[in-house]
Amino acid sequence: MTNASIARDDTALSKLIEDLLVARNLRGMKTIQPALQTGYYLRAARILNKCRGHVLIGTGFPVVDTFETDGPVGAIALYRALETLGATPVLVCGPPVSQALMKDFRVHEIRVGEHQEQKLEAFEALYKFHPDAVVSIERPGQAEDGGYYNMRGESISARTACFDTFVKHAKCPTIGIGDGGNEIGMGNVVSALKDLDIVASATCVDELLIADVSNWGAYGIMAFLSVWNQTDLLGQVKPREILDYLSGLGSVDGVTRQNELTEDGLDPSEGESVLLALRQLINVA
């Protein structure tokens, strides 16, 4: 097979993955998909496939006084995949999710602070880690007014640590994964979001990935990493186990706001079916 035919196959696979991950159109991501240039999962995976140093993975969306399950599940799955491939992932998040995860993962904690403190915090961390890539998975993105808002339009600024500064000042490629319009990266498609009932994020990234559930966006990247490295990374992901782990640490579902083994109101069987479909696309199931 020639390099050109391999490239065409990868582009076709990316399109299949992109369509699969917004097929349910739970929060309008299928509607905004035309605003993105086809191949976004392929391009993001190419970035991460090259990484052998630090990869900063921002996650954790504040819900009431804790954090939601969408975001950390995908972040943990991607963390483990990148570690398997020889990179050094670091989860970047604020309390309480940072405190919950630091016993089992490399965690860099960020805190709510003034604008200058946020910039200094980001500059110091970026200098320390010198990352190969910065990834945001279901991390709140600043709106045009500088505030943070949840899917209900409620301000969550007082409880949100700023990861936007990492994305804005990184000297490496940046990737954002979101499912509703208020996450880091959605600034890339801000005009396409005008008809959605959301206070949109204005923060941009190099590659924006969309999915019906942000966790699933991590799986889309991992599909390519599995193919290129000839290892079934997707088969190693156990959503129920990760959800059970997070529940024990105090997580809640972002939609129901209950401590339960769901993501965005969906039973884990939905995420498992997405994993199976992705594995079938890459012929490992």
What's the pLDDT at 7? Answer: 55
> What are the residue ranges in the chain where pLDDT is below 70?
1-8
CA distance 81 to 77: 6
What's the pLDDT at 113? Answer: 81
What CATH class does 12-281 carry?
Answer: alpha beta
The number of C-alpha atoms within 13 Å of 243 and in the hemisphere containing its C-beta is: 24
What's the pLDDT at 26? Answer: 95
Cβ neighbours for 267, distance < 8 A, ≥ 6 positions apart: none
For residue 239, whether the previous peptide bond is cis, meaning omega lies within 30 degrees of 0, is: no
Cβ neighbours for 86, distance < 8 A, ≥ 6 positions apart: 52
pLDDT per residue as tens digits for the range 11-47: 999 999 999 999 999 999 999 999 999 999 999 999 9
